[in-house]
Amino acid sequence: MIELKTPAEIQRMHVAGRFVAEVLSEIGRLADVGVNLLDLEHHVRGMIKRRGAQSCYWDYAPPFGKGPFRNVICLSVNDAVLHGLPHDYTLRDGDVLSADLAVSIDGWVADSARTVVVGTAAEEDLRIIRATEEALEAAIEVARPGNRLGDISAAIWAVACDYGYPVNTEFGGHGIGRTMHEELHVPNKGRAGRGLKLRPGLTLALEPWFARTTDQIVYDPDGWTIRSADGSRTAHSEHTVAITEDGPLVLTRRETEKSAQNA
């Protein structure tokens, strides 16, 4: 069942969203050559505890995972792109790190992801990160009342095509609100004008992710970490978005993004 949120409920999700944005900004600041993924994991645990929030990942056990997940953030490196299980790995110069976080505050959830380069950035890595960010902004732009779910998918796909990146449709965006995953799957590939008509109160986590040269995925032995099947590098961008009468409201926008938009 699809639950439309009231303006007051959307504001409560926005509280969670601001905290998620704060944590991901902190991860971007801390991710550096010589930093261990487990140190990042424990730093986020501390932030969550101090805020009185709840991790949506801890004890998460969906059908596709080898659960339960016993971490509070997904950290995926290089060819890993989704559900990366934090482990004893020290970041190296040029690594690509995707961080994905979902938390609940007072019963309302927000979910967001970002990809950063550690140390020296290769242009091809910056390019694929930029592609996911542009695809996310294109998806947000069409998340308006009267449009359809397929318009969001088509917007993401169009950016991927412009950059020449293939698109996997097994994992994509989703409904969100009282729980991390609610009704509606939002594929990263689709046709405009198709699907559910978007209405005010609908809240979605939109998350384009691309691999450089494949749309196929493989799983690590840990049962969680998803990688590109051919080992090509990846990127992932995600925001929680509320559809309102006035258009899309991004609930997980980071301060650096706000500054860039206002520049």
pLDDT exceeds cutoff 90 at 56: yes
Q: How confident is the model at residue 219 (pLDDT cuts 50, 70, 90)?
A: very high
How much is the pLDDT for 250? 98
Q: How confident is the model at residue 261 (pLDDT cuts 50, 70, 90)?
A: low
Q: Binding site for a divalent metal cation: residue ranges?
A: 100, 111, 174, 207, 238
Tell me: the pLDDT tens digits for 223-232? 999 999 999 9
Q: What is the DSSP string of 38-97?
A: HHHHHHHHHHHHHHT-EESSTT---TTSSS----SSEEEETTEEES----S-B--TT-EE
Per-residue pLDDT, averaged over 245-261, amounts to: 84
Q: How confident is the model at residue 263 (pLDDT cuts 50, 70, 90)?
A: very low
Q: Binding site: residue ranges?
A: 83, 100, 111, 174, 181, 207, 238
Residue 13: exposure state from Cβ atoms within 10 A (0-12, 13-18, ≥19): buried
Q: Pseudo-torsion of CA 156, 25, 183, 6, nearest 10°? A: -110
What backbone torsions phi and psi does residue 246 show, to the nearest 5 degrees?
A: -95, 5
Domain 7-253, CATH class in plain words: alpha beta
Tell me the whole-structure pTM to 2 decimals: 0.95
SS3 32: coil
Segments making up each domain of the chain, as ranges: 7-253
Chain position carrying tokens 């706000």 = 258
Q: Binding site for substrate: residue ranges?
A: 83, 181
